[in-house]
Amino acid sequence: MTPGLQELATLDRLIHEPARLMIMTVLYAVPEADFIYLQRECGLTQGNLSSHLAKLEEAGYVMITKTFKGKYPLTICSLLKKGRDAFEEYVRKMRVINGSQKWEG
C-alpha cells in the first residue's frame, strides 16, 4: 500500500462527511457563528444542520451555547481546540493523499 492510500484509511470520518466538512470549514474561519448564519452559508436544512452539529458537539469538536443579543435568541456555535486540531490534521492528511496522486507516464 502506498503512504497516500494508508492515509485514506486514517481520515477522520466525522469531518470527512461533506456537510460536516462545510460546517467545520466555516467555523474554522470565524470566531463564532449562529445557527442561521451556518444554515445560510452551508445551504443545509434546519434538521440536517441540527443533527450534524449534535454529532460534532458530541465529539467535542464544537461548542454550542444558547444566548441572547438584545431580545433575539441566538444559538452560537464555535470550534473547540480539539475540533480545530482535528480539522488541521484532516487537512494535513488530505494534502499527503493529494501529493501521492500524481500520475506517472
Partner 1 sequence: MNTQVTDSVLQAERRARSYWDIDGLATIAQALAVLLAGVWFLYITHFGDWLSRDTRLASGVVLAVLLALDGIRKPGLIGWIKAKITYPRTGYVAPLQLEGSHKGRRINLNALCFAFLLAALWAAAVLVETPWISAAAAILTALALWWNPLREKFVSFDVLGMSCLGLLAAVVLNATRSALHLRRFGFILIALGVLGLIKGIVTLLRYVRRNPVAQA
Residue ranges binding partner 1 (CB under 8 A): 25-26, 28-41, 69-72, 74, 76, 88, 91-92, 94-95, 98
Please say which residue, 38 or 56, places its beta carbon nearer to partner 1. Answer: 38
Please say which residue, 82 or 92, places its beta carbon nearer to partner 1. Answer: 92
- Minimum distance from residue 67 beta carbon to partner 1 (Å): 10
DSSP 59: T
- Distance from the first to the final alpha carbon of the chain: 20
- Minimum distance from residue 31 beta carbon to partner 1 (Å): 4
Spatial contact of 61 and 83, defined as CB atoms under 8 Å apart: yes
Please say which residue, 70 or 105, places its beta carbon nearer to partner 1. Answer: 70
Upper half-sphere CA count for residue 82 (Cβ side, 13 Å): 10
Handedness of CA 11, 13, 18, 22 (dihedral sign): negative
